[in-house]
C-alpha cells in the first residue's frame, strides 16, 4: 500500500516547484486575474523552457531505480504546489494537460508517441485540451450530440463544445491538439462514444467564444465549433468499432481516472494557500494556533482552523492514493472520484471559512484570499460535479449500475 512519505526525488521536485510558484506565480497572480484575456508570456515561456523536456505537466514517467512509476503521484504533488502559487496561472501553463492525459489513458502506444512527443521537443510553447461538455450535455457525458462519421480515410466531426479549458491555446495558438468526445452512432447510446484527436489549426475547428469567469481567470475557457472537420482515421483513441455493450465507453471514461486526481490536487493547493495565509496572519497578530491542547481549552477559531487542516489532509491522502494506484497499474475509478469529491468540497469550505476568519480584510481585494475563494469553486464543478462524483462513489460501493442508480 502507499507509504505516507514521498521519495527523495518527489521531495526535490516539490521543493523546486514550490519555489517557482512562490517567485514566478504569486507576484503576478492579481495582475492576470484582473487582465483575464491577456497572457503572461514571460511566465509562460519560462515554464515551457523548464517543463517541455517531459510530457504531461512536465513530469514525464518518473520511475525510481527500484519500484513502479511515480508519474501520476508526482504530477499531483507538482500541481498542488503550482496551484498554491495560482490556479489560473497553473492552468495556463503550456503542456499536454487534460488532452495529453486522455491520450495517455486511452491511446495506443503509437498514438502516445505521436501526440505526446511534441511536448518534449522544445520549440514554441504548446497546449492540449479536452472537449466534452456541450450546450445540451453537461454532467451526462453519454448524451453527447457531436458526431463523427467516417468518410474514406477520414473522420468528419460536426458539433459544438463549450467550457474547454485551454481550448483557445490548444485549438488556435500552438502546435497542440484537442481531444474531442463524439458519437459514432447516436442510437448506440454510451457504446457509440469515442474520443478523437483534432490537431491545432485543423480546418473546420473554430473557437467561437472565450468565457468571462468568476475564477481561474488567467486561463482561457473556450467554446469550439466543428463544421465538417476532417481528421485522419488513426486519430481515434482506441478501436473504431461500436460494441454491443457500453464497455467501449468505459474505456473513454477511464480518462477521468487520470484527470480527477489532478483536479483534486489543484483544489488542495488552493485550499493550502488560503490556510497558510490565515495561519501567518494570525501569528503576525499574536494569535498562534495552539496544538496539543484538549478541545475545551481551544478557542472556536483554533478548533475551526484545525478542522480545516484535517479535512485538507484527508483530501490529500485520498488524492495521493488514487494517483499511486494508477502508477501501480491498479483500477482507481472509485478512488479517483472519492478524491475529486472530497477535495472539491473541502476547498470551497476552507477558502470560504478563511475569508470569514479575516473578516472585512479577507473579503477585500487588498488580499489574494477572496481570489482563492473564487478560484476554489471550479474544482467542485469540472471533471464531474460534486453530485456526479458522489453518485459514482455510491455506485461502486453498493455495486449498482448507472441504470440502477442515476
Q: What is the predicted pLDDT for the residue at 300?
A: 94
pLDDT of 55 = 47
All cell numbers assigned to 223:
467554446
**Domain shared by 199 and 114, yes or no:** no
What's CA 148's distance to the chain center, in Å? Answer: 26
Confidence (pLDDT) at 59: 41
CA distance 26 to 379: 20
The CATH number for 196's domain is 2.40.110.10
CA distance 210 to 208: 7
Alpha helical stretches, state H, 164-246? 167-171
What's the CA gap between 356 and 15, in Å, rounded? 30
Q: Quick one: 276 and 353 in the same domain?
A: yes
Round to whole Å and give the CA distance between 198 and 236.
9
Assess whether 22 carries a catalytic annotation. no
Which of 237, 256, 279 is at the close of a domain? Answer: 237
Q: What is the CATH number of the domain that holds 115?
A: 1.10.540.10
Please check whether residue 211 lies inside any domain of the structure. Answer: yes
Angstrom distance (rounded) from CA 177 to CA 127: 7
| Number of domains observed in the structure of the chain | 3
Question: Residue 129: how many CA atoms within 13 Å on its side-chain side?
Answer: 31
Residue 384 pLDDT: 84
Residue 354 lies in a domain: yes
State how far the alpha carbon of 246 is from the alpha carbons of 89, 101, 193, 267, in Å.
37, 21, 9, 31
φ, ψ (nearest 5 deg) of residue 358: -95, 5
What does pTM read for this prediction?
0.91
Co-location of 289 and 323 in the same domain: yes
278 three-class SS: helix
- Grid coordinates representing 173 are 495558438
Half-sphere exposure of 343 (CA within 13 A, CB side): 35
Q: Are residues 358 and 251 in the same domain?
A: yes
For residues 75 and 160, what is the distance between their CA atoms, to the nearest angstrom? 30
37 plus 156 within the same structural domain: no
How far apart are alpha carbons 246 and 255 in whole angstroms? 15
Same domain, 169 and 251: no
- For residue 172, what is its C-alpha cell? 488556435
Domain endpoint, select from 237, 255, 276: 237
- pLDDT score recorded for residue 239: 74
Together in a domain, 263 and 390: yes
Claim to verify: residue 105 and residue 176 sit in the same structural domain = no
Gyration radius of the chain's alpha carbons: 21
- CA dist., res. 362 & res. 353, Å (int): 10
Domain, as residue range, for 210: 128-237
Check: CB of residue 222 under 8 Å from CB of residue 209: yes
* Helix, coil or strand: residue 365: coil
Task: Give the residue from 102, 187, 103, 207 showing the smallest Cα distance to 147.
Answer: 187
Give the active site residue among 70, 80, 81, 383: 383
Q: What share of the chain is helix, strand, coil (3-state, %, to 5)?
A: 55, 15, 30
Are 141 and 261 in the same domain?
Answer: no
The three cell numbers of residue 58 are: 512536465
Contact 349, 309 (CB under 8 A): no
| Spatial contact of 170 and 177, defined as CB atoms under 8 Å apart | yes
| pLDDT recorded at residue 243 | 59
66 inside domain? yes
Query: Is there a domain that residue 406 lies in?
Result: no
The last residue of a domain, from among 91, 120, 149? 120
Could you tell me if residue 383 is left (phi over 0), alpha (psi between -120 and 50 degrees) or otherwise beta? left
pLDDT of residue 244: 54
97, exposed or middle or buried, with CB in 10 Å at 0-12, 13-18, 19+?
buried
Task: Look at residue 1 and tell me if it is in a domain.
Answer: no
Considering the domain architecture, whether residues 255 and 391 belong to the same structural domain is answered as: yes
* Residue 257 CB coordination number (10 Å): 21
Q: Residue 242 domain-assigned?
A: no
Domain identity same for 172 and 262:
no
User: Hey, is 323 helix, strand or coil?
Assistant: helix
What is the residue-level pLDDT of the chain in tens, covering all 406 positions? Answer: 456 789 999 999 999 999 999 999 999 999 999 999 999 999 999 999 887 655 444 444 455 555 678 889 999 999 999 999 999 999 999 999 889 988 988 889 999 999 999 898 878 999 999 999 999 886 777 789 999 999 999 999 999 999 999 999 999 987 899 999 999 988 888 788 899 999 999 999 999 999 999 999 999 999 999 999 999 999 999 877 765 555 556 666 778 888 999 999 999 999 999 999 999 999 999 999 999 999 999 999 999 999 999 999 999 999 999 999 999 999 999 999 999 999 999 999 999 999 999 999 999 999 999 999 999 999 999 888 899 899 999 999 998 887 787 7
Amino acid at each position: 500500500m502507499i507509504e505516507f512519505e514521498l521519495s527523495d526525488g518527489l521531495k526535490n521536485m516539490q521543493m523546486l516547484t514550490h519555489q517557482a510558484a512562490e517567485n514566478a506565480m504569486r507576484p503576478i497572480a492579481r495582475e492576470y486575474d484582473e487582465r483575464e484575456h491577456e497572457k503572461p508570456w514571460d511566465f509562460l515561456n519560462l515554464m515551457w523552457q523548464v517543463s517541455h523536456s517531459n510530457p504531461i505537466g512536465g513530469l514525464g514517467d518518473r520511475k525510481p531505480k527500484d519500484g513502479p512509476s511515480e508519474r501520476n503521484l508526482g504530477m499531483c504533488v507538482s500541481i498542488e504546489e503550482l496551484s498554491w502559487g495560482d490556479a489560473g496561472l497553473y492552468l495556463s501553463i503550456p503542456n499536454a494537460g487534460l488532452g495529453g492525459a486522455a491520450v495517455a489513458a486511452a491511446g495506443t502506444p503509437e498514438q502516445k508517441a505521436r501526440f505526446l512527443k511534441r511536448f518534449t521537443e522544445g520549440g514554441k510553447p504548446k497546449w492540449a485540451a479536452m472537449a466534452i461538455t456541450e450546450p445540451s450535455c453537461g454532467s451526462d457525458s453519454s448524451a453527447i450530440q457531436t458526431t463523427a462519421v467516417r468518410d474514406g480515410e477520414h473522420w468528419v466531426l460536426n458539433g459544438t463544445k463549450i467550457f474547454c479549458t485551454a481550448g483557445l491555446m490548444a485549438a488556435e495558438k500552438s502546435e497542440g491538439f484537442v481531444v474531442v468526445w463524439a458519437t459514432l452512432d447516436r442510437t448506440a447510446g454510451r457504446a457509440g462514444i469515442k474520443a478523437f484527436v483534432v490537431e491545432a489549426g485543423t480546418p473546420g475547428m473554430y473557437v467561437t467564444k472565450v468565457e468571462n469567469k468568476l475564477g481561474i481567470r488567467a486561463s482561457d475557457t473556450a467554446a469550439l465549433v466543428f463544421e465538417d472537420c476532417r481528421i485522419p482515421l488513426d486519430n481515434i483513441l482506441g478501436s473504431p468499432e461500436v460494441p454491443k455493450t457500453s464497455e467501449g465507453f468505459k474505456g473513454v471514461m477511464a480518462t477521468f481516472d487520470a484527470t480527477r486526481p489532478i483536479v483534486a490536487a489543484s483544489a488542495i493547493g488552493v485550499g493550502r494557500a488560503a490556510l497558510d495565509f490565515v495561519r501567518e496572519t494570525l501569528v503576525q497578530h499574536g494569535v498562534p494556533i495552539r496544538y496539543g491542547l484538549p478541545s475545551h481549552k481551544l478557542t472556536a477559531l483554533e478548533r475551526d482552523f484545525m478542522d480545516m487542516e484535517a479535512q485538507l489532509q484527508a483530501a490529500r491522502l485520498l488524492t495521493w492514493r488514487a494517483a499511486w494506484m494508477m502508477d501501480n497499474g491498479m483500477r482507481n475509478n472509485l478512488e479517483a472520484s472519492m478524491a475529486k469529491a472530497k477535495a472539491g468540497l473541502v476547498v470551497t469550505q476552507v477558502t470560504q471559512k478563511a475569508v470569514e476568519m479575516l473578516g472585512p480584510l479577507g473579503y477585500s481585494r487588498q488580499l489574494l484570499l477572496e481570489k482563492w475563494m473564487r478560484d476554489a469553486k471550479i474544482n467542485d464543478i469540472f471533471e464531474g460535479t460534486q453530485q456526479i462524483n458522489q453518485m459514482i462513489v455510491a455506485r461502486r460501493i453498493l455495486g449498482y449500475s448507472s441504470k440502477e442508480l442515476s
